A and B are shown apart, each in its own frame.
Chain A
Amino acid sequence: EPEVTQTPSHQVTQMGQEVILRCVPISNHLYFYWYRQILGQKVEFLVSFYNNEISEKSEIFDDQFSVERPDGSNFTLKIRSTKLEDSAMYFCASSENLGQPYSNQPQHFGDGTRLSIL
């Protein structure tokens, strides 16, 4: 079964450094998402991306965050200057859309990247 893949599985970075988290969504999917989960807490929405642009972002997704689809397969999340509070699991998700009104397609998640900021 197709799956969302994320790399690396664990990233350790010094505070203030830039970090790029990578995702390969499921190949026929058109909608891409990033979520994060702080240890012991619920999963929180960061950003959604469609047709090469951000379609929605949360309050968490400030100017330090950016997303990009540099080619036909990868979807990346960049944090420009990491802070201690950025330590979390970051999940990429993707969904397809059949073009029907009011027809949400389920989002499928990768196994995440554990980001540890020192």
Chain B
Amino acid sequence: GQQLNQSPQSMFIQEGEDVSMNCTSSSIFNTWLWYKQDPGEGPVLLIALYKAGELTSNGRLTAQFGITRKDSFLNISASIPSDVGIYFCAGQTAGGGATNKLIFGTGTLLAVQP
């Protein structure tokens, strides 16, 4: 089945540093999404990308939809302690229909040292 490989698995950084993580797949996706999950909570949507090549920002977060539609990256600038959590990429293939399940990546654990 479809799989998303996410890297790195974990990152331990100092407050103020920039962070970059990415997601690759052997399959093409029409939509890429990035979610953040805090302990004991559900995934919270950060950014949604709908077009190949699209670059979208949300505050200190920037994400890009790869030209090949098989990859995406997420950057976090000037990290702060509350950025701690697990970041998941997710891909969707179908569009505008009912079979638009999300395929999740393996997650990147981010730890920020104050």
- A and B: partners? yes
- Give the interface of A toward B (CB within 8 A): 4, 6, 31, 33, 35, 42-45, 48, 50-51, 55-56, 58, 91, 93, 95, 97, 99-104, 106-112
Contact A112 to B42, CB < 8 A, known contacts A42-B104, A102-B30: yes
Q: Which residues of B contact A43 (CB under 8 A)?
A: 43, 88, 90, 102, 104
Task: Give the contact stretch, choosing among B10-18, B44-52, B56-64, B67-75.
Answer: B44-52
Q: Which residues of B contact A106 (CB under 8 A)?
A: 33, 45, 48
- Give the interface of B toward A (CB within 8 A): 30-31, 33, 35, 40-45, 48, 50, 88, 90, 92, 94-107
Q: Which residues of A contact B104 (CB under 8 A)?
A: 42-44
- Which residue from A48, A51, A93 sits with its C-beta under 8 Å from B99? A48
CB <8 Å contact, B45 and A42: no
CB closest chain-A residue, reference B101: A45
With A and B bound together, what is the CA distance between A14 and B37 in angstroms? Answer: 28
**Number of A-B contacts defined by CB within 8 Å:** 76
Contact A103 to B98, CB < 8 A, known contacts A43-B104, A112-B42: no
With A and B bound together, what is the CA distance between A106 and B63 in angstroms? Answer: 15
Q: Which residues of A contact B44 (CB under 8 A)?
A: 109
CB <8 Å contact, B95 and A56: no
Q: Which residues of B contact A50 (CB under 8 A)?
A: 98
Contact A100 to B45, CB < 8 A, known contacts A43-B104, A44-B104: no
Q: Which residues of A contact B30 (CB under 8 A)?
A: 102, 104
CB <8 Å contact, B31 and A109: no
Q: Which residues of B contact A51 (CB under 8 A)?
A: 98
Contact A103 to B96, CB < 8 A, known contacts A91-B42, A110-B42: yes
CB <8 Å contact, B43 and A109: yes
CB <8 Å contact, A48 and B101: yes
Q: Which residues of A contact B45 (CB under 8 A)?
A: 106-109
With A and B bound together, what is the CA distance between A91 and B45 in angstroms? Answer: 14
